[in-house]
Amino acid sequence: MQTAPFDYYRPETVAEAVDLLTSVEGSRAIAGGHSLLPAMKLRVANPPALVDLSLIEGLTGITQNGDSLMIGALTSHAAVAASDVVKAACPVLADTASHIGDPQVRNRGTIGGSLAHADPAADYPTLMKAIGATIHITGGGGGERSFSADDFFVDLFTTGLAAGELVTAVEVPVMGTGQSGAYIKHRHPASSYAVVGVAAIVTVEGGSCTAAAIGIGGVTGKPERAASAEAALVGQEPSNDSIVAAAATVGDDLANPIGDLYASGEFRVHLASVLTKRVLAEAFGQPAD
């Protein structure tokens, strides 16, 4: 499988990259290339020009600024998984990154590319939704804006990014006192992508759950919050009963599930409920039923 011919640009600044993306018709940014190149080889995507972001300084790396982690868009999955800063401040993020694809995918794929691609089977979007991440963007004229993860993911492979805009960084809150999180996916056996993935971030204070955020990926076109399950948990003491009751409501927030040859929509909703039980048990530190 070969790609169609394309022109290739290697800008050294974000401004230059944005300039190229707005002036060269049909051009696409390329970061790790682990989603875009397979699509080009299958001729599902045929951009006439690629704007390679890899030489741009300042888009790679992880820093902690008080209560948040700032992760450059070009930071690889492997770097997130191995980062001591991430492991200490947001262990669920390092753990999620460590289960993406295989070593080659983790060494080349980037967090910005994964979010911009918005594959419903990807792991980061589901976690970002539960964790309350902010996605930072630069566009034409150096204009900057930010999206909450809730607003960024619009539909299947569709985000709020406008033409010529680049994801520059992802901001993730540091886990607070009493807060913990977990992410579990049912892996597709061929690719390791999530058939369904569920992320939970919970806060327990004085023995009861005071906040819960649950993200569900792989069931609908974009990651969804399981709002009914979240509401069912708040005010409850974490227990097998409260977890089972919350997980039973997950289907209420998953309208129009998608199905394919591997898993029907109905099966994906079922999996979402089963995985919600498991992920909540892990997040609350309860034995799984």
Choose one: 1-9, 64-72, 117-125, 223-231; the region binding ligand FAD (CB under 6 A). 117-125
x/- string (CB under 6 A) for ligand FAD, residues 190-209? -xxx----------------
- The nearest distance, CB 264 to ligand FAD, in angstroms, is 21
> By CB under 6 A, is residue 122 in contact with ligand FAD?
yes
> By CB under 6 A, is residue 97 in contact with ligand FAD?
no
- Stretch 134-193 residues interacting with ligand FAD (CB under 6 A): 161, 166-167, 191-193
> By CB under 6 A, is residue 93 in contact with ligand FAD?
no
**Residue 182: phi, psi to the nearest 5?**
-155, 155
> By CB under 6 A, is residue 100 in contact with ligand FAD?
yes
Binding-site member from 38, 143, 178, 285 for ligand FAD (CB under 6 A): 38
Enumerate residues 6+ apart whose C-beta is below 8 A from 236.
208, 209, 242, 246
Q: Cα–Cα distance between 213 and 210 in angstroms, integer? A: 11
Binding-site member from 86, 123, 181, 277 for ligand FAD (CB under 6 A): 123
Binding-site member from 83, 110, 220, 273 for ligand FAD (CB under 6 A): 110
Q: Cα–Cα distance between 18 and 166 in angstroms, integer? A: 7
Choose one: 5-13, 105-113, 220-228, 255-263; the region binding ligand FAD (CB under 6 A). 105-113
Instruction: Give the number of C-alpha atoms closer than 13 A to the C-alpha of residue 66, restricted to the C-beta side.
Output: 1
- The nearest distance, CB 46 to ligand FAD, in angstroms, is 12
> By CB under 6 A, is residue 113 in contact with ligand FAD?
yes
Choose one: 34-42, 172-180, 230-238, 255-263; the region binding ligand FAD (CB under 6 A). 34-42
> By CB under 6 A, is residue 80 in contact with ligand FAD?
no
Q: Which residues lie near ligand FAD (CB under 6 A)?
A: 28-36, 38, 53, 73, 100-101, 105, 109-110, 112-114, 116-117, 119, 122-124, 161, 166-167, 191-193
